[in-house]
Chain A
Amino acid sequence: MDNRELANANPVVLNPSDLPTRKRLSASQHGEGKSSSIFSFPTTTLSSDPLYHSDVSEASDSDVESDAEDIDEQEIYDLIATMSDPEHPITLGALAVVSLPDISIKPTMPHRPESPLRTVTVLVTPTIQHCSLATVIGLGVRVRLEESLPARFRVDVRIKEGTHSTAEEVNKQLADKERVAAALWNPTLQSFIKKMLETCE
C-alpha cells in the first residue's frame, strides 16, 4: 500500500469468542441453550410425506404474536460489529470500537407509549484519542444503520465521552444531516465506507 502511516498502526484486538452474541443472551435468559444434536434425523418416515400432513396446520411456521422478535440492542450490535475498521481488516467489534453496553434503544416520544418511533443511540469508541478516522467510522456506522433499520428508527451516532480529543467537533458533524449527506457524495469517503461494509454478511 502507498500510505504506511496509519492513524493507529497497532490497535488492541479482542478475540471473537469474547464478543457478545445472540445465543449467549438467550442462554442466560432461558436457562440452557439447546445444543444441536449430532444424531438428528427424522424419527419416523411419516414426517416427510405430504399425504399424511395435508390437513395439519403449519403452526410451527406461522406468525404467532408470541414469536415476534423486537429489534433489540444485540441486533443493532450484530449489524455494526461485523463492519471492518477502515485501516485494518479487523471488525469494529473485535477492536471494541462498538460495544453492546454502548448501544441503547429508546422510544422517540416517551410521552406517547403507543408510538412505534424509536431512537437508537450508538456510542463509538475510537481506538486512540486522536484517531483521525473517527468521523469516517461514525459515518459508516450511521450509513449501515440507516440502510438496515426500518424507517421508524431514528439513528444517533456519537463519539463516546472522553474517548476522543475532538469528540465535540466530530459529534457535530455526525449529527448534521446536511453535512452527512454532503460527505456521502465524496468519492474518497464512499470508497472508505464501501470497504467497511464489505465484511457485513
Chain B
Amino acid sequence: MRRGAGAEEAPRGQAPTPAPIPIPTPISAPQDPDSDPDPGPGPEERIAARRRRIAARLDAKRRQALGEDEEPKEEVEEEEEERRSHKEVEESQQRLAKLLFEGTQMVTNIQVAADSRETQRRAEEAELKQQRLKKLENEAKSSAYEFEKIASKWALAEDVTVPQELWQLLNQQQQQCALLLEEKNKLIGELQQELKNKDEQYVQAMKKQSDDIHLLLERMEEQIRIMLKTYRHKLHHIEKAFEFERRELLDSNRKKWEEAIQAHNTKELEYLHARMRKVEEFEKQLNQLRVQDEEEYNSMKIQLENDVQNLERQLQQTKAAYLLNQEKLEYNLLVLKKQDEENTIIRSQQKRKINRLHSSLNNLRTKLDKQEKQFREENQSLAADCERITGQCKEVQKRMRHFAASDAEKFTELWLMNEEEAKRLMRKALDADRIIHTQQLGLPWEQPRHWFLNNIGPLRRCKAKRMATKLAAEVLAESSCGGEEEKAKEEEKEKEEVGFGEGGKENIAKAEKEDVSDRERRKESTAKAGDRVTPLPNISKKTTKRILELLSDESGFLIERKLLRPLRALGKHERTLLRLDSIFSALEINSEDELQRLVDFFLKCKAQEEPLSQGSPSGEDVTDLGEDRAGSEAGARSAELKPPQGPLGSLPSACIHADDVLRILKAFVRGFDKPREKTRAAKEALQVRDSSEDGEYWEALAHVIPETTLKLWDALLVALEEYYNVLTRRAGLLAELAELQQQNLELCLMLERCSTSGVSLGSLQTGDTEL
C-alpha cells in the first residue's frame, strides 16, 4: 500500500496500452518515424528550400550592392566563385544541425515517452484509488450495518432467559461475526493481492526504466558516434574544398606570377639591347667630337700665339708710356707739394680771419637781442596805450549812443506835444469845417482821410526791416504768380494810391511802405515797377527766387527732423516757405539785409567762378537803384560786396548749380559773422533820422483844410455877414412891429372902452383901420 502511493519518479506500472512510441533500433536512428513524420522528402526538400532562400538572400544582397555602387559587380562574381567553400560549410552546417536536432529528438523521445507513461499511470492510479476508496466505503458501510445488527441482538440477548435460546442466539451471533470477519479478511486479501500486483508492477517499471536508461545510453552513444563521424566527414569535405580552392588560387597566382616574370624578362632583354646600341652610338659620337675638338684646339692655339705676340708688343709700348708718365707725375707731385704748403699757410690765415669774424658776429648778436628786447617793451607799452584808447573810444561811443537815444526821446516827446497841439487845432478846424458844412451849407461832410492824421510820434524814415522769411515769401509768391500778376499788383498799388485819401484802414507799416515805395517810384523816372516790389533791388527777382528754391532744396539737412513730416502734407509753395524759414533760423538770418547778403554772396561766388565781363549797361539801372536803396536803408553794406553787384543781377539765374550750393553756404557762414558785427554797430549809429520830410508833415497838418474849403469859407463869411445884416434889420423891424402891435392893442382896449360908449368905438375902429 505505502509503496504504491509512494512518490517514486520512475513509472511503476507498465501501461496496458502499447507504448506510445515504438522505440526504433539505434541503427535506423536518423530516420525516426515519430520525430520526423515524413522522412522521405524531408531532408532533400528542406535543403532545396534552404538553397533557394540562400540564393534569394544573395540576390537581395547583390541588388543592394548594385544600388549602392555599380562597380563591385565583378567582385561579387568573384566572391560567388569563391563561395564554394562557404556553400560547403553552410550545407554541412545545415546537415549537422539537422542531425543534431534529430538525434536529440530521438534521445528525448525516451523521456517524453516516460513522461506520457507516467501521466497515464497517474490518471489510472487516481481512478483506481477512487474505486478503491468507494469500495472501502461501501464495505465499511455494509459492515457497520452488519455490526449494528449484531450489536442490537446483544441487547435482545439480555432479555432471553432460556439458556437454549441464549445459546442459539449466541451461536447465531458468532456465525454472523465470523461472516463479518470473513468479509473483512477477504477485503484485506484483495487489497494485499493488489499490493502484490503493484509490487510486481513496480518491479516491471524498474525494469522498464533500466531498459529505458540502457536504450538512452545506447542512443546517446550512437548519436555521439554518428555525430563524430559526420563531423569528421564534413570537416574533411570542407577542408578538401578549401584546399581545392587554395590550390586553384595558388595555381592561378603562380601562373600570373610566371607570366609577369616572363614579361619582365623580355622587357629586360629589350632594355639591354637598346642600351648596347646606345653605347655604341655614343662611342662613335665621342670619337667624332674628339677629332673635331683637336682641330679646333690647334687653330685656337695658333690664334692665341699670335695674340700673345701682339700683346707683348703692346706691353712694351705701354711700358714706355708708363715711364714717361711716371716722370710727368713725379714732377706734378713736386708742384702739388709746394702748392700744398702754400695752401696750409693760406688756411691758417683764413682761420684767424674766421675767428675774428665770429667774435664780431657774437657782438652783433648781443646787440640785436638787446634791441629786440627794447622794441618788445615799446610794443607792449604801445599796445597797452592802444587798448586804453580803444576803451575810451568805446566809452565815448556808448555815451554818444546814450545821448542820441535821450535826444531822440526828447525829440519824440517834443514832437508828440507839438503834434498833439497841432492835431487839436486841426481837429478844431475840421470840426468847424464839419459844422459849416452840415449846419451852414447843409452839405454832407466827409472825414478827410490823410496819412498824417493817424500818425503819432516822429516820422520813421527807415522802413521797418521786413523779416527775411516774409521777404522770401513775397519773392516766391510774386515770381510764382508770373508777370501777369505783377501787372495786376501794379494796378492795385495805383488803386491804393488813389484811395489814399479815403481810408486809413491799412496798417501803418504797409501804408508807410507803400508810401515810401510810391515816392521812390516817383523819384525814379525809370519804369521799374516790377523791381520795386522785390526786396532785393539789385538782383533780378528770378535769380533770387532761383537761389531761394535751390537753398530750400539743397539744405534740407538744416531743417529739423520733426518738421519734415508735416512738411510733406503741405503744398509745394508752402513747403518751400517753411523750409526756408527753418533754414534761415539755422543760419541765423533774421533780417532782410542778411538775406540780401546771402543772395549777393551766392551771386558773387558764381561770378568769381565765371569771371565774365558782363558790365552791360542794362545792369546800370539796377545798380543805381541798389545803390540808392543801400544808401537809404542799409548803408553799412560792406564795400566789398558792392562792386560785383552790377554784373550779378544780370547773371542767368540757372548758372548756379545745385552742387555748389553747399560749398557756397559753407563759405557764407564762415564769412557771415564778421559783417554782421559791423552791421550791428552801424545800425545803432544810424538811428539819426533826417528831418527832410518833417516840414512837409507839419505843412500837411497845417493844410488839413484845403484851399477850396477856405475859399468857400470866405464866400460863406461874406454871405453870412450879409445874411446877418438882413437879419438885424429884420430884428429891428420885428421890434417895431411888436411895438405897433402893442399900441394897436392899447388902442383896441381904448376903443372898446370907447365903444362902450359906442360912438367912440366906431370912430376908434375907423382910426385903427386907417393906421
Do A and B assemble together? no
| Residues of chain B whose beta carbon lies under 8 Å from any beta carbon of chain A | none
